[in-house]
Structure 1
C-alpha cells in the first residue's frame, strides 16, 4: 500500500504483519505526512533524548561505531548540539580526572559564558539603579542603549 494515507486501511495491513498498535497511533504517525511537513530525513524512531545524552556523556572511545556515527550526524545537522556535546565532554573529563586546580573550571566557564555573565551582571546593575523608579519599557531602553554603546566601544 505504498503512498496510502488511510489510517484504517494501513492499520489493517500492518496488523496482518504483526503490528499490535491501534488505528489512533497510525493516525498520529500519518498526520505530518498529510500536512506535507515531514522532514526529508526523519530522525530514527529509536533516537531519544536519553540515548543522545548517554552518547554525549559516555567517553567517546566507549561508543560503538553506530553510536558515534549517529551522534556525529546529529551534530552536523545542529551546530548548537555540537557545541553542547563539546562542553559536556570537557566538563565530564574535568570531573573524571578530578583536577585539583580550580583554574581549569574557571577557564572552562569563562571560555564562552564570560561575555554573557558580564551582560547579565550589567543588566542587574541597571535594574538596581532604577529600582522602584521605572517600569519594564524604560529598563528595556536603558539596556538596549548601553548594549549599543558597548558595541561601539569595542569597534573603536
Structure 2
C-alpha cells in the first residue's frame, strides 16, 4: 500500500524558515526548505536576498545597502522591490541604523510607557496627576 505524500508546508512555515538563521533550522525543516527551493528559483533568490540583508544587520555593514538594493531590483521579486523602495526613500536613516552602534530603543520604550499611562487615565485626571503617575511608575 502506498503511503500518503507529506502535505506541503504552510506559507508561514516557509517564511519562518527563510528568515531564520540556517544554523537554527532542524534537519527536517532544512530538508523541506531545500526541496521547495529546488522547485522554485524565485524562492531561492528570495532566501539569498533575505540572508544578505540579515548579514548587513548583524555585521552593521550599511554601506552595502545600495548594492543590495541594486541586486534586488535586478530580480523579479515585486514584494522585495516595494521593501527596497521604502528603504531607498529614507536611505540616510537606514544606512545610519545599519552602521551606527546607537539605538533609540530605550527612548521608544519610555515613550510607549508614557502613552500607555496617558491612555489609561484618559478623561479622568489632570496634568499634575499624570505627571505623578509617570514619575512613580
- TM-score normalized by structure 1? 0.41
